[in-house]
Homo-oligomer: A and B are copies of this chain.
Amino acid sequence: MIADISIAPVGEGASVSKYVARAVAIIRESGLKHEFHSMGTNVEGSYDEIVKLVKRCSDAVFKLGAERVLIRMYMDDRHDKVSTIEGKKQSVENKL
């Protein structure tokens, strides 16, 4: 499946890029295919792989000192065909 994930602290100041960078680093090290964008990161993997990865990111943000963390996940799971980050974008591009 593909999941758009975002993990960010509340209450650590308006600038949160330090925390986001930590989460993005963990996603990169995971080996899962991903697409970093300005409002989150899309990750390709199984449900279990993705929720474990999000937990590691959230733990790391707390470890950096956050008191409260908001997690957004938006998951797209298809059983009728294999869905990939690249394939999904190509499918739209082909119709433009």
Contact = CB atoms under 8 A, between A and B. Distances in A.
A74 B11 contact: no
A25 to B, nearest CB: 6
A32 interface: no
Interface residues of A, number: 55
A55 to B, nearest CB: 6
Interface of A is mostly: mixed
Which of A8, A11, A24, A89 has the most C-beta atoms of chain B within 10 angstroms of its own C-beta?
A: A11
B91 A17 contact: yes
Which of A11, A15, A62, A92 has the most C-beta atoms of chain B within 10 angstroms of its own C-beta?
A: A92
Given A68-B78, A71-B75, 11 more contacts: A4-B37, A10-B14, A10-B16, A11-B14, A17-B95, A24-B96, A38-B86, A38-B88, A39-B40, A39-B76, A73-B73
5 contacts: A2-B39, A39-B76, A47-B58, A68-B79, A72-B74
